[in-house]
Homo-oligomer: A and B are copies of this chain.
Amino acid sequence: MNGTSRRAFKDELFRQFARIGKALASGRRLELLELLAQKERTVEELARLTDMSVANASQHLQVLRGARLVDSRKDGLYVKYTLADQRVFGLWQALRDLGEGRIAEIERVVHSFAMDRKSLRAVTLDELRRGLRKGSVIVLDVRPAEEYGAGHIPGARSIPLAELRRRLRGLSKTREIVAYCRGPYCVLADEAVALLRSRGWRAFRLEEGFPDWKARWFPVETAQYPGK
């Protein structure tokens, strides 16, 4: 009621919320969240994918766990980490979209790496959905096979980027191709589209990634990935 205790209450309350903010205050941790949005993963796997030492990855993961953004469970010899909640991805999405809209450097960085981001319009989730219903597109999931296995857009074919070149033969040129990967800043789809277009396919990238599809509560298919 009195001013002092009200101040203490607010301080403590916002301090608690800031725990989440602190967890989001490192690029490394954001990258971990993006990778965890695809599927659950071990510490070693995350360390490898982010070029961090295992100890460092472990430490970052514990910060994320401290903020309740991820959960971990022991599975045999490994500790597997997962996003704690669909809302965690929603938070990352909100941060991502705000950054894309307001931080000019972000567009600049993306441009400097994937030059034809602007020249080739990306396909939106809704457009892809319509195309899938009409059967007018081939959808390629170019992420590693394990990520496809953990969840993918129904009807998508798994062709990890690394295998694309040697599996071109099996791809028809009669329909348009839409390639997707982890998210709007994942470059796997960009590289797949570049390769396909250079060989004569009509190929486009999906604007966003699989977790964004899932976040819209569109249907999701899971599968043991055959041949691995």
Interface on A for B, CB 8 Å cutoff? 1, 5-7, 9-31, 51, 67-69, 84-85, 87-88, 90-91, 94-99, 101-103, 105-106, 109-110, 112-113, 185, 187, 191
Bound-complex Cα distance A10 to B183 (A): 13
Interface of A is mostly: helix
Pairs across A and B, CB under 8 Å, 18 listed: A6-B113, A7-B51, A9-B109, A17-B106, A18-B24, A18-B25, A18-B27, A18-B29, A20-B99, A20-B103, A21-B30, A24-B24, A24-B25, A87-B97, A87-B102, A88-B98, A90-B94, A91-B91
> Which residues of B lie under 8 Å from residue A97 when comparing CB positions?
87
Bound-complex Cα distance A87 to B69 (A): 21
Bound-complex Cα distance A24 to B20 (A): 8
Q: Would you give the shortest CB distance from A196 to chain B, in whole angstroms? A: 16
> Which residues of B lie under 8 Å from residue A87 when comparing CB positions?
94, 97-98, 101-102
> Which residues of B lie under 8 Å from residue A15 when comparing CB positions?
27
Closest to A19 in B: B103
This chain: copies in complex: 2
Closest to A86 in B: B98
**Are A21 and B185 in touch, CB under 8 angstroms?**
no
Given A9-B113, A91-B91, list of 19 further CB < 8 A pairs? A1-B191, A5-B113, A6-B113, A10-B31, A12-B109, A17-B27, A17-B95, A17-B96, A18-B26, A20-B24, A21-B21, A21-B30, A21-B95, A22-B25, A69-B98, A87-B94, A87-B102, A90-B98, A94-B94
Bound-complex Cα distance A185 to B13 (A): 8
Bound-complex Cα distance A123 to B16 (A): 25
